[in-house]
Amino acid sequence: MQDIFPIRKIDHIHHYVNNARQSAYYYQHVFGFNITGYRGLETGSRDQVDYLLEQGDIKIVFSAPIRPGHPMASKICEHGDFVQDIVFDVDDVDWAYKAALGRGAQSAYEPKTIEDDNGSVRMAGIKLYGDTIHSLMNRDKFKGHFLPNFRRENQPGDGIGIMEIDHCVGNVELGKMNFWVKWYEDVLGFRNMISFDDKDISTEFTSLMSKVMTSGNGRVKFPINEPAAGKKKSQIDEYLEFFGGPGVQHVALRTDDIIHTVSRLQARGLEFLMAPRSYYDMLPDRVGKIDEDIEELAALGILVDRDDEGYLLQIFSKPVTDRPTLFYEIIHRKGAKSFGKGNFKALFEAIEREQALRGTL
Ligand code: FE2
C-alpha cells in the first residue's frame, strides 16, 4: 500500500508546563533522562524556557512561559501541565503541510524557518484534538544541537533502559473517536490496526472504546479512546473533566528489560497501578509459558498478555501530574504487536479503585 503521508518518526513530545526546570529535574531523576539542551534568557530567549531531555531514541521537551501574559500560560492554566505537540520528522515540511490542509486538516501555524549559525529548521503545525497539535519538522539543513539557539547541556540521568516511544494515546469526547480515526486516515494516511469495543474494555462500572491508528510505515501508533456509557464515570470522562477537553492520556515507553526498568522507577518513587493477587494466580492459564518469574512480576505489578505473535509485558503508572490526566506505560514486547487487550479488565478494576479514592468514580 502506498504511503500518502510519509512520516519518518516521532521526533519529540513537547510539553507545556508551569515550571520547566522542575519538570526536567523530575524526569531526569525519576525516569533517568539526560538533560541535553536548554534555551532561555541566557541564550537569548526572552519569553520562555525550553529543556530538552533524551534517553535512547526518546526526546521530550518541556517549555514554560517566563513572563506574565504569555499565551502559553493560559493553556497551562486551563489544562495543567500537558502534552501540547507530538512532533513528526518529515521529508518535506511545505509539501506535508499543504497536503494535510488539502485533506481537511486545520492549520495550527504556517510553515516557518528558524535558524542560527548552525543552519535552519523548517516547521509547520496542524491542529489535532483540543489544544494538541502535530508539528511537522525537518532539520536536514541544521548542523547544530536539536534546534536553533539551543545550548548543549550535559546533565546525565541514571538511565532505566527505555529506548523509544511505543505509542501515544489520546482521549477524546464521547462520539468523537470515529471522527479522529477518519481524520488520521484521510489526512495522514494512517490505518486502523485494532479496535476495542465496550465488550472488550468494560468492568461492572465503566467502559471505553478504543481504536489503534498506525502510520504508513508502521512506526507511529496512536490509539484513540472515547468513553462509553457505564454505571459510573469512566476514567476517560474523568480525564476529560479535569483536563478540560480532549488530550494525550498516556505515552508508552518501550524497554527490553521491564523488570529492571520498573524496579528502578519504583525505587525512585513513581507509583504504578497494581493488579490484584488473583491476576497472577490466573496468569499461567491465560498466557502459558513465559521467560519471567511470576512472583517477580507480581511483586512489581507487571502485567502480561499474549497474542498470535508472542507476548508482551506492560505496566501503567499513576498520573504524573496533580490532575488525574497524563500517565506513562512501560512496555516490553516479546513478539506481540498488540496492546494488552487481555489486561484491560484487570487493569480497569485497579484504576477504579484509584478513582473511588479520589471520589470521581
Ligand atoms: Fe498503551
DSSP string, 92-158: -HHHHHHHHHHTTPPEEEEEEEEEETTEEEEEEEEE-STT-EEEEEE-TTB-SSSSTTPEEEEE---
**Rounded CA gap, 294 and 284, in Å?**
9
Report the separation in Å between the CA atom of 277 and the middle of ligand 1, taken as the mean of its atom positions: 22
**Per-residue confidence (pLDDT) for residue 205, from 0 to 100:** 66
Taking only the tens place, the pLDDT of each residue in 86-126 is 999 999 999 999 999 999 999 999 999 999 999 999 999 99
Report the separation in Å between the CA atom of 264 and the middle of ligand 1, taken as the mean of its atom positions: 20
Report the separation in Å between the CA atom of 274 and the middle of ligand 1, taken as the mean of its atom positions: 16
Report the separation in Å between the CA atom of 257 and the middle of ligand 1, taken as the mean of its atom positions: 17
Report the separation in Å between the CA atom of 328 and the middle of ligand 1, taken as the mean of its atom positions: 8
Query: CB–CB of 302/216 below 8 Å?
Result: no
Bridge partners (DSSP) listed for residue 59:
54
Q: Hey, what's the torsion of the CAs at 271, 277, 282, 283, to 10 degrees?
A: 30
CATH number of the structural domain 9-155: 3.10.180.10
Report the separation in Å between the CA atom of 269 and the middle of ligand 1, taken as the mean of its atom positions: 21
| pLDDT at 13 exceeding the cut of 80 | yes
Report the separation in Å between the CA atom of 138 and the middle of ligand 1, taken as the mean of its atom positions: 28
Higher per-residue pLDDT: 340 or 259: 259
Taking only the tens place, the pLDDT of each residue in 132-180 is 999 999 999 999 999 999 999 999 999 999 999 999 999 999 999 999 9
Report the separation in Å between the CA atom of 330 and the middle of ligand 1, taken as the mean of its atom positions: 8
**Rounded CA gap, 184 and 192, in Å?**
9
Q: Name the pLDDT band for 268 (thresholds 50, 70, 90).
A: very high
Bridge partners (DSSP) listed for residue 305:
312
Report the separation in Å between the CA atom of 99 and the middle of ligand 1, taken as the mean of its atom positions: 29
In this prediction, residues 301-329 reach a mean pLDDT of 96
Report the separation in Å between the CA atom of 253 and the middle of ligand 1, taken as the mean of its atom positions: 9
Taking only the tens place, the pLDDT of each residue in 229-242 is 776 778 899 999 99
pTM of model > 0.85: yes
- Relative orientation angle of helices 344-358 and 235-243, to the nearest 10 degrees: 50
Report the separation in Å between the CA atom of 343 and the middle of ligand 1, taken as the mean of its atom positions: 11
Residue with cell 498506525: 214
**Per-residue confidence (pLDDT) for residue 204, from 0 to 100:** 65
**Rounded CA gap, 185 and 212, in Å?**
11
- CATH superfamily of this structure's domain 162-358: 2,3-Dihydroxybiphenyl 1,2-Dioxygenase, domain 1 (3.10.180.10)
Q: Name the pLDDT band for 38 (thresholds 50, 70, 90).
A: very high
CATH 3.10.180.10 boundaries in the chain:
9-155, 162-358
| DSSP classification of residue 245 | S
**Rounded CA gap, 100 and 82, in Å?**
24
Grid coordinates representing 209 are: 472504546
Taking only the tens place, the pLDDT of each residue in 320-358 is 999 999 999 999 999 999 888 888 777 677 777 788 888
In this prediction, residues 277-294 reach a mean pLDDT of 90
